[in-house]
């Protein structure tokens, strides 16, 4: 599979999962956390699906399109490994992490802290969506929407 095909499949999986979890997330109170704002594509999608939720976005710096940039009070800059710690216990209904790089050695370092952070920020029954696998006993893997291949993107519920 070419890198273009792989990229398209990953984004399709990302979108299909975000579309599929709306009702699940709506069963839980709390904000939505977007780890890895990037240019704001998934932030914009989340905003469409959850217009009444506070959505807090994180990135090293703001590089999103101006129309997809959160208000300053909902934008957290810096390394998520550190900046995320202040949000432990916030009781998020959804945390989406799109901070994988495709470089195994970098992603292995992210995986030393991201699963624990995701557990820490989520409310009970909160939903975790991630581009990297989150191997934690508190996170129950959920079935993926039809058409999304196992291992392409990851979906869990916080127990
Ligand atoms: N989902 C975004 C979108 O749809 O536009 C794309 C996210 S992009 C693939 C990943 C982003 O995560 C990058 O902007 C990068 O700067 C950010 N990122 C990765 N690791 C990070 C870390 N440890 N701390 C802060 N930001 C990080």
pLDDT tens digits, 77-89: 999 999 999 999 9
| CA separation for the pair 97, 77 (Å, rounded) | 15
Q: What is the pLDDT at residue 132? A: 98
For the chain, the domains span 3-158
Which is the closest atom of ligand 1 to the Cα of 37? 2
Dist. CA 99 → ligand 1 center (Å): 5
Through-space distance between the first and last CA atoms of the chain, rounded to whole angstroms: 36
To test the pocket of ligand 1, the residue of 44, 99, 103, 118 to mutate (highest count of ligand atoms within 8 Å of its CB) is: 99
Q: What share of the chain is helix, strand, coil (3-state, %, to 5)?
A: 40, 20, 40
Task: Decide: 52 and 34 in contact? Cβ < 8 Å.
Answer: no
Q: What is the pLDDT at residue 108? A: 98
Q: What is the pLDDT at residue 140? A: 98
3-class DSSP assignment, residue 91: coil
Q: What is the pLDDT at residue 55? A: 98
Q: What is the pLDDT at residue 57? A: 98
Residue 94 dihedral angles phi and psi, to the nearest 5°? -150, 135
Q: What is the pLDDT at residue 148? A: 96
Tokens of 152: 């392409």
Residue 95 dihedral angles phi and psi, to the nearest 5°? -125, 125
Q: Does residue 99's CB lie within 6 angstroms of at least one atom of ligand 1? A: yes
Angle of helix 41-49 versus helix 3-20 axis, rounded to 10: 20
What would the CATH number be for the domain defined by 3-158?
3.40.50.150
Q: How far is CA 13 from the centre of its chain?
A: 13
| CA separation for the pair 73, 25 (Å, rounded) | 22
Q: Does residue 38's CB lie within 6 angstroms of at least one atom of ligand 1? A: yes
Identify the segments of the chain with pLDDT beneath 70: none
Look at ligand 1, atom 3, and give the residue with the nearest C-alpha. 41
């Amino acid at each position: 599979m070419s890198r273009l095909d792989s990229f398209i499949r990953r984004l399709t999986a990302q979108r299909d999962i975000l579309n599929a979890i709306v009702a699940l997330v709506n069963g839980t109170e709390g904000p939505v956390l977007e780890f890895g704002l990037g240019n704001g594509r998934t932030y914009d999608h989340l905003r469409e699906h959850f217009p009444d939720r506070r959505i807090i976005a994180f990135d090293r710096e703001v590089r999103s399109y101006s129309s997809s940039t959160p208000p300053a009070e909902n934008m957290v800059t810096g390394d998520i490994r550190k900046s995320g710690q202040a949000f432990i216990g916030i009781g998020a209904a959804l945390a989406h992490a799109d901070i994988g790089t495709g470089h195994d050695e970098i992603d292995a370092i992210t995986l030393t802290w991201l699963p624990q952070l995701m557990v820490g920020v989520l409310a009970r029954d909160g939903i975790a969506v991630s581009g990297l696998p989150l191997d934690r006993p508190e996170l129950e893997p959920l079935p993926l929407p039809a058409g999304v291949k196992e291992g392409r993107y990851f979906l869990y519920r916080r127990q």
